[in-house]
């Protein structure tokens, strides 16, 4: 490559930066899938959010080093850059830090956006701004003043600036005359300083350190932001399900329900509401102490459940009914099986009862011990697992429920 053509040399640096950095965008689906597993395992207290974030961040480092060393070595020596060990090491370190910045940025986006449908367009828009304001396609002097802040937040710009300074401030370019032109007399700058000024890049070596500080600071900021989002913001709750608030009478009845008996108690009381007379009846049940806390039995009932979804390819208000007035119940201490042919609606019914349907219209009643079940009550009183979960053939039903539900 002609080392006198600054545009060609900076163009290769720009392409190298883009290849290593933007290749991380392909990890968005991977991070989103891993987040779904994390929600499930975090809910079962398998580990802390900080442990997951730390492990994810550390596992990206070896791969980043390998990609940077292999690709960067080929580009640097085949591109005809300055043959000095210190310049080569700075080149690799800068590329690696920029790549880690992008990895943490994508991890942060994957942690803070609801789903892949939203994450990918947002990532594409970010890539557009990174490329446009990277300082190569549009130089710093041609960016409007009201948008210059994007340039100073652009990791591509910081990487190009650091790599350009590292290359053109080398002793090979710290001369006045090259290819028959006296740059000091004609422009008042050395060959390297003139090459940098053509693209409005700074000509001080400290900008290499500034770039490293930017990458390291941004990396830790995004990792901490991802931890904060994973710990305090979840996107696993079903949306689009309408719950009905209890009236005052029901709230009073809830307050009269007994607490969970202690280990040494042998009698529990279950309060039932008499809807016709407006009173409360008490039923006392003997319980044999087992040395462990006794949970109150819960009866699940559903009455006249309807579930409708929009007709595919139909009119705007046209719907198809997947469940039509289904009623049933499940008693505590028993196993209830839903049996039917494929496509009969067994899984659909279970998803509706568990509150896992995010679209369509749901009508009917779902009751826990005779009380309307909202999303919070269902999550506290029930567990849910399905055929797509991992079920070991050696596990008991109880173990499968504990692990999967």
pLDDT in tens, 8-23: 888 899 999 989 888 8
Q: Average pLDDT, stretch 168-187?
A: 80
Q: Average pLDDT, stretch 346-370?
A: 86
CATH number of the domain where residue 377 is located: 3.40.50.300
Closest by Cα among 93, 94, 85 to 170: 85
Write phi, then psi, for 258 (nearest 5 degrees): -75, 155
Confidence band for 292, pLDDT divided at 50, 70 and 90: low
Instruction: Say what the pTM is.
Output: 0.60
Write phi, then psi, for 157 (nearest 5 degrees): -65, -45
pLDDT at position 381, please? 76
Q: Average pLDDT, stretch 156-161?
A: 93
Domain of 97, in residue numbers: 6-232
Instruction: Return the H-helix or E-strand segment holding 224.
Output: helix 206-232
pLDDT at 293 over 70: no
Q: How many domains does the chain have?
A: 2
Q: Are residues 86 and 190 in the same domain?
A: yes
Q: Are residues 64 and 206 in the same domain?
A: yes
Q: Average pLDDT, stretch 377-392?
A: 76
Q: Average pLDDT, stretch 332-360?
A: 85
Confidence band for 271, pLDDT divided at 50, 70 and 90: very low
Q: Are residues 226 and 306 in the same domain?
A: no
Confidence band for 197, pLDDT divided at 50, 70 and 90: confident
Picking from 206, 232, 258, the residue at the C-terminal end of a domain is: 232
Picking from 232, 249, 278, the residue at the C-terminal end of a domain is: 232
Residue 363 belongs to some domain of the structure: yes
- Measured CA angle at 346 (ends 345, 350), to 5 deg: 115
Name the 3-class secondary structure at 135: coil
Q: Are residues 322 and 181 in the same domain?
A: no
Q: Are residues 211 and 305 in the same domain?
A: no
Confidence band for 359, pLDDT divided at 50, 70 and 90: confident
> Rounded to whole angstroms, how far apart are CA atoms 129 and 120?
15
Q: Are residues 210 and 348 in the same domain?
A: no
Q: Average pLDDT, stretch 22-44?
A: 87
Q: Average pLDDT, stretch 67-87?
A: 91
pLDDT at position 335, please? 84
The per-residue pLDDT of the chain, averaged, comes to 81
Name the 3-class secondary structure at 305: strand
> Rounded to whole angstroms, how far apart are CA atoms 162 and 5?
18
Residue 63 belongs to some domain of the structure: yes
Q: Are residues 17 and 136 in the same domain?
A: yes
Q: Average pLDDT, stretch 212-238?
A: 89
Residue 274 belongs to some domain of the structure: no
Picking from 211, 232, 253, the residue at the C-terminal end of a domain is: 232
Q: Are residues 64 and 179 in the same domain?
A: yes
Residue 327 belongs to some domain of the structure: yes
Of 67-71, 291-295, 334-338, the one with minimum mean pLDDT is 291-295
> 2 is written with which tokens?
């002609």
Of 4-8, 120-124, 197-201, the one with minimum mean pLDDT is 4-8
Confidence band for 173, pLDDT divided at 50, 70 and 90: confident
> Rounded to whole angstroms, how far apart are CA atoms 360 and 307?
7
> 303 is written with which tokens?
């009455």
Dihedral class, residue 352 (left if φ above 0, else alpha if ψ from -120 to 50, else beta): alpha
Q: Average pLDDT, stretch 323-328?
A: 89
- Say what the alpha-carbon torsion angle 296, 299, 300, 303 is, to the nearest 10 degrees: -140
Residue 257 belongs to some domain of the structure: no
pLDDT at position 319, please? 83
Q: Assess contact for 199 and 6: CB atoms under 8 A.
A: yes
Residue 28 belongs to some domain of the structure: yes
> Rounded to whole angstroms, how far apart are CA atoms 280 and 292?
29
């Amino acid at each position: 490559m002609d080392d006198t053509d600054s545009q060609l040399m900076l163009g290769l640096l720009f392409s190298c930066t883009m290849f290593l950095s933007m290749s991380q965008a392909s990890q968005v689906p991977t991070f989103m899938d891993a987040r779904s597993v994390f929600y499930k395992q975090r809910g079962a207290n398998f580990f802390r959010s900080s442990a997951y974030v730390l492990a994810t961040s550390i596992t990206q480092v070896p791969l980043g080093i390998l990609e940077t060393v292999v690709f960067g070595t080929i580009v640097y020596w085949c591109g005809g850059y300055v043959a000095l060990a210190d310049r080569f090491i700075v080149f690799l370190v800068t590329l690696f830090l920029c790549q880690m910045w992008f990895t943490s940025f994508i991890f942060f986006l994957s942690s803070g956006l609801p789903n892949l449908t939203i994450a990918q367009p947002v990532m594409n828009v970010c890539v557009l701004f990174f490329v446009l304001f990277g300082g190569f396609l549009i130089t710093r002097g041609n960016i409007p003043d009201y948008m210059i802040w994007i340039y100073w937040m652009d990791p591509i710009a910081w990487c190009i600036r650091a790599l350009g300074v590292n290359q053109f401030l080398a002793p090979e370019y710290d001369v006045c005359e090259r290819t028959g032109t006296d740059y000091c007399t004609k422009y008042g700058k050395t060959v390297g300083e003139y090459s940098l000024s053509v693209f409005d890049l700074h000509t001080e070596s400290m900008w290499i350190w500034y770039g490293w500080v930017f990458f390291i600071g941004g990396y830790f900021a995004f990792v901490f932001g991802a931890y904060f989002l994973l710990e305090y913001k979840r996107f696993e709750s079903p949306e689009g399900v309408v719950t009905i608030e209890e009236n005052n009478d029901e709230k009073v009845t809830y307050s009269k329900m007994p607490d969970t008996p202690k280990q040494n108690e042998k009698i529990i009381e279950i309060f039932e509401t008499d809807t016709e007379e407006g009173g409360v009846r008490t039923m006392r049940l003997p319980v044999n102490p087992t040395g462990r806390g006794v949970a109150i039995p819960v009866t699940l009932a559903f009455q006249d459940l309807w579930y409708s979804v929009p007709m595919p390819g139909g009119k705007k208000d046209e719907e198809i009914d997947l469940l039509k007035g289904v009623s049933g119940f499940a008693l505590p201490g028993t196993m209830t099986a839903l049996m039917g042919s494929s496509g009969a609606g067994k899984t659909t019914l279970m998803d509706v009862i568990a509150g896992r349907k995010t679209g369509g219209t749901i009508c009917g009643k779902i009751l826990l011990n005779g009380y309307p079940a909202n999303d919070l009550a269902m999550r506290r009183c029930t567990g849910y697992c399905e055929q797509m979960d991992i079920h070991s053939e050696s596990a008991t039903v109880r173990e499968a429920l504990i692990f999967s539900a």
